[in-house]
Amino acid sequence: MENPLTPEVLADPVALTRALVDIESVSLNEKAIADCVEEVLRVVPHLATYRHGNTVMARTDLGRSSRVVLAGHLDTVPLNNNFPSTLRGDLMYGCGTSDMKSGVAFALHLAATLPDPRYDVTYFFYEAEEIESRYNGLHLVAEAHPEWLTADFALLLEPTYGIVEAGCQGTMRATVVTTGVRAHSARSWHGVNAVHGAGEVLRRLSTYQARRVTIDGCEYREGMNAVRINGGVAGNVVPDRCEIEVNYRFAPDRTPAEAEAHLREVLAGYELVVTDSAPGALPGLEAAAAREFLAAVGAAPIGKLGWTDVARFAAMGIPALNFGPGDPNLAHHPDEHVEIGKIRDGAATLHRWLAPA
């Protein structure tokens, strides 16, 4: 495939967004887009470029006193009759336009066109963010090349609609089990219905009063919800087991251990098994580079309602923020699109922040 990321395309973040969207890169199929990104970065004289799997890392080494990371994932969710991209007025439609190839375009545009940033910059273009963590490019880099991640501040170019979203919530999944006694449904009084027993679990969840926590001026709104129920044996059998999957999104002032303790308190009396957990990230506003970035944006940050890879950096003691042109409400949507004006405005903001004074 001829590389569509030509010098003319790299110079224009809008054209670059469209070119990236038009390289199909559903999770675990990122080789083609990683090849294109690596090829153009290898010839940029002010960058040292490396690759691990389908994650490409490029960095400046200018002797600056601080180093920042710009990171964006190359993968998308599966296509949904939204490939390739289309333009309709000031909107660009297509899989990944919002989440997050418009953000990736910011990093790639700057990497190729800004030879003397005010900080040393590490650029990550990484694989498999949309699926299980074990495939995530940043996770794999942390295992194989942890020194690549060293920085004073990180910016994840996730869709935020041009607003700085600070930190992120933690997330926990658990399975709650209700049990009963199996019986023929014609003689149901001989059994105990485990599906009916789930009613109390659902009542507790539906009446749960979630916290709203403000940290460094950023509000994080928690949520605890049943997201799946599985139970039943046959059409004529009283079921003896029912499983309710619960997802708890918790504010970053709670550790996963504290979140689990709270979940068990709410659902006391029931068998509960935690199946997945990831910590949140505190707002990350204290780094000098973060304060200068906020000044370039010119608007106050808000709390990130969701989990992003800022948590990986926070776990290493690196403050991190989210910022990108896409609308997070359109992520994974069949009508996914991005406003061209948001791409241009966001690229100008990042240039204002990174360009030498």
Task: Cite the active site residues.
Answer: 75, 129
Q: Where are the beta strands (DSSP E) in the chain?
A: 48-52, 55-59, 67-73, 86-88, 91-93, 120-126, 153-156, 165-166, 170-179, 183-184, 212-215, 218-221, 223-231, 237-238, 241-250, 271-278, 302-303, 320-322, 337-339
Q: Which residues contact 316 (CB under 8 A, 6 or more apart)?
A: 142, 149
Residue 39: name the closest of 11, 4, 84, 69 by CA.
Answer: 4
Token representation of residue 346: 């966001």
Residue ranges of alpha helices (H) inside 207-300 are 256-266, 288-297
Angle at CA of residue 125, ends 315 and 123, nearest 5°: 75
User: Residue 91: phi, psi to the nearest 5?
Assistant: -120, 140
Helix (H) or strand (E) holding 342: helix 340-354
Whether residue 154 contacts residue 320, with contact meaning beta carbons closer than 8 Å, is answered with yes
